[in-house]
Amino acid sequence: MKRKILREKGQALILIALAIVGLTGFTALAVDGGAALSDRRHAQNTADAAAYSAALAKIQGKDWVASGLSQAKINGYENDGQTNIVHVHCPPENGQYTGNQEYVEVIIESNVQTTFGRVLGVNQVHNQVQAVIHASTAKTAPLYSGAAMVALKSNGRGAFRSHGTNSTSIVGSGIFVNSNDDCAFEQVGNSTIDTPSGIQIVGGACLHGSVTPANSITSGATLVPYPPANLPPEPTCTQNAIQNDDTLSPGNWSGNFPPRGVMYLQPGIYCVDGMFMVNAHDTLIGNNVLIYMRSGNVHWDGNAQINLTAPLSGPYAGLLIYMPMSNDEGMIINGNSDSSFVGTFLAPASDIQINGTSGSEGYHSQVIGYTIDLIGTADLLIEYNQNENLLVNFPPTLELVE
């Protein structure tokens, strides 16, 4: 009986010893694991802050390495080479942004000393976190990366449509469709679109015609915010436009534009409240002009001759027609072989319908609308040249990408 009791006591001691080891393991996991997790969170927040600080210093022309290290030190990572190491890189040395000078990378390595883990032979836990900031300096550039035709509608089918039997050719650029719908880009009829620079779509395309080359459509583009940011300031006109026989001077105009009998627009800005209507067999010629449609729509007949060019200098250089966000009246443009346009059509809240022109001049333009609809049977030629269109000032930006 005594031997049995002693044997049972021996077994109990073994179980107790195993339990102690198990409890120590759980304690180590809870205490030391919690400490390691807490350090990792703190290190990640510090890396984010340090990357922002370094990126900001970089675009300001300051010592971005010192700025990143200083921000990390403020948060307890002093880069002592033992408890932690802080790396500040531009360009990043690893990952998808390797070698790109617009990105700043901060990596923090930290060692967390264990308390109970030492019983199990684990003296420290190693953490490594990373933050990458896209640092874009202030620049002057075209809207939407210079896409020749831009449909800004962010959801719903048919943000960009091509109807009828027209043939559209785009030279020097491509098309951007902002809608995330599966049929954001919709082609109906036997129309053909030739755009060697490609069609970038946030959503998808539903095609019943042809696109050249066949692989020019790319889905999954990045959605841009709507309403759009960074639009040019709305123009002001300090005087009234004055008609002198067949010529109109720049300024404010209320009612149908241009007034009856006007064939020529003098250089300058026209601030219009009313319909911009050009009837069949009318002629309208204007060089270095901006038509700012404060209210009212645009409707040009296909049998009219219209030759317009945007200003060559000043804050509105390259901007031909501007319908602000407050004006969603729409734009219908019917061209012909005698018509030509140089400059940007900017109507971010409006539906734009274009019936093309088969002339050799066509549109030297960037066309930006809420939706775009290519209609009819005529050919449409758009030759995009950045130097002939609107350029805007983009402020510096910082964006956390990793």
Residue 29 has pLDDT above 60, yes or no: no
Residue 131 and residue 71 in contact, taking contact as beta carbons nearer than 8 Å: no
pLDDT of 9 higher than 80? no
Q: Dihedral sign, CA of 8, 9, 11, 16? A: positive
Domain for residue 402, yes or no? no
> Strand pairing partners for 175?
149, 199
Encode pLDDT of 199-212 as tens digits: 999 999 998 877 87
> Is there a domain that residue 151 lies in?
yes
Judgement on whether residues 270 and 318 belong to the same structural domain of the protein: yes
- 401 in any annotated domain: no
**What percentage of the chain has pLDDT greater than the value 90?**
65
Same domain (yes/no): 25, 145: no
Higher-pLDDT residue of 81 and 192 is: 81
Whether 94 and 45 share a structural domain: yes
Q: Is residue 285 part of a domain?
A: yes
Q: What confidence tens digit (pLDDT) does each residue in 264-290 have?
A: 999 999 999 999 999 988 999 999 999
Q: Using CA atoms, how far apart are residues 37 and 207, in angstroms rounded to an integer?
A: 51
- Position 6 scores a pLDDT of 47
- Which one is predicted more confidently, 286 or 17? 286
How many domains does the chain contain in total? 2
Looking at per-residue confidence, does 361 or 314 come out higher?
Answer: 314
Question: What is the structure's pLDDT at 254?
Answer: 97
- Predicted confidence at residue 21, as pLDDT, reads 54
Q: 133 and 222, same structural domain?
A: no
What phi, psi does 306 have (nearest 5°)? -130, 125
Domain shared by 117 and 149, yes or no: no
Same domain, 198 and 177: yes
CA distance 131 to 51: 6
State the pTM of this model. 0.79
Joined tokens for residue 319 = 């901007």
Please state, in angstroms and rounded to a whole number, the distance separating the CA atoms of residues 233 and 222.
25
Q: In terms of domains, do 168 and 29 share one?
A: no
- In our burial notation (b when 16+ CB lie closer than 10 A, e otherwise), range 141-179 reads ebbbebbbbbbbbbeebbbbbbbbebbbbbbebbbbbbb
**Are 162 and 105 in a shared domain?**
no
Q: What tens digit of pLDDT does each residue of 243-265 get? A: 999 999 999 999 999 999 999 99
- Same domain? 122 vs 264: no
**pLDDT at 19 > cutoff 60:** no
Assess if residue 400 is contained within a domain. Answer: no
Is the pLDDT confidence value at 3 over 90?
A: no
Q: Which of 87, 106, 137 is the last residue of a domain?
A: 137
Top pLDDT among 74 and 394 is at 74
* Sign of the dihedral defined by the CA atoms of residues 277, 280, 283, 286, in that order: positive
**Mean pLDDT lowest among 86-90, 144-148, 194-198:** 194-198
Contact 199, 220 (CB under 8 A): no
Q: What is the pLDDT of residues 137-167, one digit of tens each?
A: 888 999 999 999 999 999 999 999 988 777 8
* Residue 66, domain extent: 2-137
pLDDT mean across residues, the chain: 88
Euclidean distance between CA atoms 338 and 284, whole angstroms: 11
User: Which of 99, 86, 97, 98 has the alpha carbon at shortest distance from 44?
Assistant: 86
Angle (nearest 5°) at CA 156 between 154 and 162 = 95
**What CA–CA distance (Å, rounded) separates 203 from 193?**
18
Q: Is residue 175 a part of any domain in this protein?
A: yes
Q: Which of 87, 113, 137 is the last residue of a domain?
A: 137
Evaluate whether residue 188 is within a structural domain: yes
Which carries the bigger pLDDT value, residue 6 or residue 383?
383
Domain identity same for 185 and 317: yes
CB of 352 closer than 8 Å to CB of 367: yes
Look at residue 402 in the predicted model and tell me its pLDDT.
84
Same domain, 250 and 336: yes
pLDDT exceeds 80 at position 12: no
pLDDT of 25 higher than 60: no
Same domain, 372 and 273: yes
* Residue 89 belongs to a domain: yes
Cα separations (Å) of 58 from 72, 191, 218, 336?
Answer: 16, 49, 34, 51
Residue finishing a domain among 105, 137, 169: 137
